[in-house]
């Protein structure tokens, strides 16, 4: 062994880098008995032994203060993981059962050989955005306030968060990732479809409802794989007047989100490849396509037109989420996003207010103008992702909302699917309350209020989530939980 050169930095670190490679190719560490370290060090080169001794003396006190005392190791026991990696692996295991954590079964055999990441767990800021998006969707479907999509564009935010998670998963083979995403998405939709189809059949819907029995059976395949809108009864009897005639249409229309999500998942490997080669062109291309489709040159009617409109409206937000996870947004100048995003939003608002609207009740409603929605959502999401603080733990003022946010994230698909049936069922309940003399004489203001359907819908939604939300756990290969509200650790008190 050549004599070591004169160290240029701390003696311990420099000598540690010049240690000879171990003879064992497995790179395993052996826990030595007391006294064995001194015996083996005496057999080494004197200068190296002195440097190693200085390194241990310099940092033994600091490690003793930072690291709790470990139990005595068995003689001859082999240590295979460094202490820092053990702590990181334990932190990752703590979050493995959370909603967006990928199961170990999908990772393949190479996942067991990969070192545990130093930074793991959930980003509570993204969880908060997803919970706010779900709450906004429920409020919009109940009140139909046109300013709500402007205040918080839920669809764009949800697609951006899903795109970010998709990039994180695409570190594994693309086919396994797509299969895992479909497995998590489709079973809750199948359960929802089984219940809805059953009630539509009871209300008179069937193969002869639209006059094309063969096409009816062919379209039923979209309830299995929603590449297009699943069929539903547009005009039913409403169970002899108990429900509205369009109750099935109102319940099934929000399924467009699952259709668009499915197409984004299927095309994500291609989108990610384009994003890495041409980031700016890839992110802006969906906006250009959305303008082209909504320019009047093409029809929005039909399955292809509806799918293309929805895809181009929110594809830019999905790509923004992918760019955020790839670190592309962080490489931009810090002043660029907060300077450009408001201008983009102003352009979307101008397009919204300058378009002719056939229905006067939809004036100012962002949901009625797809291109304006695409531009406004793009600017809004860009600003949110730029401000992303990446919370591993909740800020103290938001700790009290941890339970509700975690519950909404654990049951996001169920809440989205079943909140519309809950709102639809609240209408006939309120209609029957008009027959109560006391409420008719003294409570008409309550029965006419737009808040009353929400008061009945929320308990119904909770009942639906308790009854059907377990399917999300089954699809994600988690332990089944009826009410996934996080438990506070013992001994912890609120400040």
Q: State both tokens at 34.
A: 């007391």
Q: Is the dihedral of CA 292, 296, 299, 300 positive or negative?
A: positive
The Cα 63–Cα 57 span in angstroms is 11
CA triplet 15, 18, 24: central angle to 5 degrees? 120
List 78's β-bridge partners, or say none. 30
Residue 436 Cα to chain centre, angstroms: 45
The CA R_g of the chain, rounded to the nearest whole Å, is 29
| In contact, 411 and 469? CB cutoff 8 Å | yes
- For residue 73, what are its two tokens? 């190791």
Cα separation, 475 vs 155, whole angstroms: 23
Neighbouring CB atoms inside 10 A of 470's CB total 21
The answer to whether the beta carbons of residues 283 and 125 sit under 8 Å apart is no
pLDDT tens across the length of the chain (495 residues)? 444 444 444 433 333 344 444 444 444 444 445 455 455 544 545 554 555 455 455 545 444 444 444 444 443 333 333 333 333 333 333 333 334 444 333 333 333 334 444 444 678 999 999 999 999 999 999 998 989 999 999 999 999 999 999 999 999 999 999 999 999 999 999 999 999 999 999 999 988 877 677 888 899 999 999 999 999 988 888 898 888 889 999 999 889 999 999 999 999 999 999 999 999 999 999 999 999 999 888 888 888 999 999 999 999 999 999 999 999 999 999 999 999 999 999 999 999 988 876 666 666 789 889 999 999 999 999 999 999 887 888 888 898 999 999 999 999 999 999 999 999 999 999 999 999 999 999 889 999 999 999 999 999 999 999 999 999 999 998 888 888 888 765 544 443
CA atoms within 13 A on the CB side of 30: 12
- Kindly give the interhelix angle for 279-292 and 302-326, rounded to the nearest 10 degrees: 160
Q: What is the pLDDT of residue 486?
A: 81
Residue 78: φ, ψ to 5°? -100, 125
Q: What is the pLDDT of residue 495?
A: 39
Three-state SS across the chain?
CCCCCCCCCCHHHHHHHCCCCCCCCCCCEECCCCCHHHHHHHHCCHHHHHHHHHHHHHHHHHHHHHCCCCCCCCCCCEECCCHHHHHHHHHHHHCCCCCCCCCHHHHCCHHHHCCCCCCCCCCHHHHHHHHHHHHHHHHHHHHCCCCHHHHCCHHHHHHHHHHHHHHHHCCCCHHHHHHHHHHHHHHHHHHHHHHHHHHHHHCCCCCCCCCCHHHHHHHHHHHCCCCCCCCCCCCCCHHHHCCCCCHHHHHHHHHHHHHHHHHHHHHHHHHHHHHHHCHHHHHHHHHHHHHHHHHHHCCCCHHHHHHHHHHHHHHHHHHHHHHHHHCCCCCCCCCHHHHHHHHHHHHHHHHHHHCCCCCHHHCCCHHHCHHHHHHHHHHHHHHHHHCCCCCCCCCHHHHHHHHHHHHHHHCHHHHHHHHHHHHHHHHHHHHHHCCCHHHHHHCHHHHHCCHHHHHHHHHHHHHHHHHHCHHHHHHCCCCCCCCCCCCCCCCCCCC
Which residues touch 108 (CB under 8 Å, ≥6 apart)?
A: 172, 173, 176
Q: How many CB atoms lie within 10 A of CB 30?
A: 13
Q: Distance between CA 265 and CA 272 in Å, rounded?
A: 11
From the centroid of its chain, how far is CA 422?
23
């Amino acid at each position: 062994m050549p004599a070591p050169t004169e160290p240029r930095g701390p003696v311990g670190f420099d000598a540690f880098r010049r240690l000879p490679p171990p003879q064992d190719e497995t790179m395993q560490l052996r826990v030595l008995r007391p006294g064995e370290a001194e015996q083996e060090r005496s057999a080494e080169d004197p200068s190296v032994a002195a440097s190693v001794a200085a390194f241990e003396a310099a940092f033994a006190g600091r490690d003793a203060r930072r690291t709790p005392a470990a139990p005595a190791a068995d003689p001859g026991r082999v240590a295979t993981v460094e202490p820092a990696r053990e702590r990181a692996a334990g932190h990752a295991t703590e979050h493995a059962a959370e909603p967006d954590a990928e199961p170990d079964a999908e990772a393949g055999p190479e996942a067991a050989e990969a070192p545990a990441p130093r930074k793991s767990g959930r980003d509570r800021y993204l969880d908060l955005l997803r919970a706010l998006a779900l709450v906004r969707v429920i409020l919009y479907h109940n009140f139909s306030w046109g300013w709500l999509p402007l205040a918080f564009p839920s669809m764009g935010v949800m697609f951006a968060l899903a795109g970010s998670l998709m990039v994180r998963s695409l570190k594994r083979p693309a086919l396994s990732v797509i299969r895992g995403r479909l497995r998590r998405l489709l079973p809750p939709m199948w359960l929802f479809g089984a219940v809805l189809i059953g009630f539509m059949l009871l209300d008179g819907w069937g193969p002869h409802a639209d006059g094309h029995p063969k096409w009816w059976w062919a379209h039923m395949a979209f309830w299995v794989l929603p590449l297009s809108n699943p069929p539903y009864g547009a005009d039913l009897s409403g169970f002899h007047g108990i429900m509205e005639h369009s109750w099935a249409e109102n319940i099934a229309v929000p399924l467009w989100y699952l259709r668009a999500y499915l197409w984004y998942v299927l095309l994500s490997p291609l989108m990610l490849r384009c994003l890495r080669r041409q980031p700016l062109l890839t992110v802006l291309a969906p906006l250009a396509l959305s303008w082209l489709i909504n320019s009047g040159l093409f029809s929005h009617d039909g399955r292809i037109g509806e799918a293309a409109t929805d895809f181009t409206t929110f594809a830019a937000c999905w790509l923004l989420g992918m760019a955020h996870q790839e670190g592309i947004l962080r490489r931009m100048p810090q002043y660029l996003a907060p300077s450009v995003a408001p201008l983009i939003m102003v352009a979307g608002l101008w397009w919204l207010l300058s378009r002719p609207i056939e229905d006067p009740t939809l004036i100012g409603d962002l949901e009625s103008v797809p291109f304006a929605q695409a531009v406004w959502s793009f600017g809004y999401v860009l600003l949110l992702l730029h401000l992303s603080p990446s919370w591993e733990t909740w800020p103290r003022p938001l700790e009290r909302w941890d339970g509700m946010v975690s519950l909404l994230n654990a049951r996001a698909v169920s809440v989205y699917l079943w909140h519309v049936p809950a709102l639809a069922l609240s209408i006939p309940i309120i209609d029957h309350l008009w027959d109560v003399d006391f409420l008719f004489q003294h409570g008409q203001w309550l029965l006419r209020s737009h808040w009353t359907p929400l008061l009945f819908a929320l308990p119904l939604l909770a009942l639906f989530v308790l009854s059907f939300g377990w399917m999300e756990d089954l699809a994600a290969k988690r332990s089944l939980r009826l009410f996934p509200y996080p438990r506070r650790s013992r001994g912890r008190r609120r400040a």
